[in-house]
Chains A and B, each alone.
Chain A
Amino acid sequence: MLAFAGASQFAALAVLAAGGGALTAIVAGTLVNLRFLPMGISIAPSLRSGPLGRVARSFAIVDPSWVLSRRGERDYDIEMLIGASAAQYVTWVGGTVVGVVLGPVLGDTKAWGLDVIFPAFMLALLAGELWRPGAKLVAVAGAAIAIALTPFAPAGIPIVAASAAALLAGRA
């Protein structure tokens, strides 16, 4: 609720559930959130306020808002970023409460196909990025890197590593 970053909460929870300690769980969650570092750098030029305002706005960075607020080349709609995140924050926290209450009733979310919502949504957002020169190659390489590392690296690292695809193509 305070970290407001779903994937890292699941990663940390998975470590705790497997019998890991708090420190291991924090490290796992932090690794997953390393992806916010390049996202933060990408929105930086669009922020037009003092240091405190910048830090406050950085709290609104989450994957879907970051993609939604992207207008183009180093140009991000900060109002969209904050608006989208506020809406998600309410539904995320509200949904968590609903989940705690309804979880035992609903049973397995897989039976409802809910686990495919996030990848399908992200795929739609990815489709909007592919017109860029070199983007298709980078997307394929990023997916390949992430999948190749998944069996060997702790959760989160494969996604951070996928950003290396942009480094390779950017230099070519």
Chain B
Amino acid sequence: MIGAATTWVTIVGLAMTTFVIKAIGPLFFGARELPRPLARVARLLAPALIAGLVAVDTLSGPGRSLTLDARLVGLATAAVALALRAHILVVVLCAVAATVLVRAIS
């Protein structure tokens, strides 16, 4: 059981660090023009970060472990739906349906 005091210290501490992290970019990089090489890196930050999020959310197991499970089939189904230019809601529903199906038969 986690103590209430510990929980609240964590919530307040985390809220403060998150606020500071979010504020730094908008506050200090305002109207400044980014130098060309830096602008190129900034452009490619989005695909790099999103791909990292997708990979970790699909393959991570308990703790720091990696697992291959039904989520991978769900993600592959989503990729096929995307290739067929399906609407984003259809893409997500296909992924959920495939994941549930694989879990049901395995």
Establish whether residues A170 and B17, one from each chain, have CB atoms under 8 Å apart when the complex forms. Answer: no
Choose among B14, B23, B59, B79 the residue that contacts A40 (Cβ–Cβ < 8 A): B23
- The secondary-structure label for the interface of chain A is helix
Establish whether residues B71 and A43, one from each chain, have CB atoms under 8 Å apart when the complex forms. Answer: no
User: Nearest B residue to A114 by beta-carbon distance?
Assistant: B96
User: Nearest A residue to B99 by beta-carbon distance?
Assistant: A113
What's the tally of chain A residues with a CB closer than 8 Å to chain B? 95
The interface bits of chain B over 4-21 (1 if a CB of A lies within 8 angstroms of the residue's CB, else 0) are 001101111111011101
Please, how many angstroms separate the alpha-carbon atoms of A40 and B91 in the complex? Answer: 28
Please, how many angstroms separate the alpha-carbon atoms of A163 and B43 in the complex? Answer: 11
Please, how many angstroms separate the alpha-carbon atoms of A40 and B29 in the complex? Answer: 9
Chain B neighbourhood of A145, CB < 8 A = 52
Does A16 count as interface, using CB distance less than 8 angstroms? yes
Choose among B22, B40, B97 the residue that contacts A59 (Cβ–Cβ < 8 A): B22
Choose among A114, A125, A147 the residue that contacts B59 (Cβ–Cβ < 8 A): A147
Establish whether residues B57 and A118, one from each chain, have CB atoms under 8 Å apart when the complex forms. Answer: yes
Interface centre among B7, B11, B82, B97 (most CB of A within 10 A): B11
A116 and B74 in contact, given A42-B46, A129-B47 (Cβ under 8 angstroms): yes
Chain A neighbourhood of B99, CB < 8 A = 113, 115-116
Establish whether residues A141 and B78, one from each chain, have CB atoms under 8 Å apart when the complex forms. Answer: no
Please name 6 pairs of A and B residues whose Cβ atoms are closer than 8 Å in the assembled complex, sorted by A: A36-B25, A116-B74, A135-B44, A139-B50, A150-B56, A166-B42
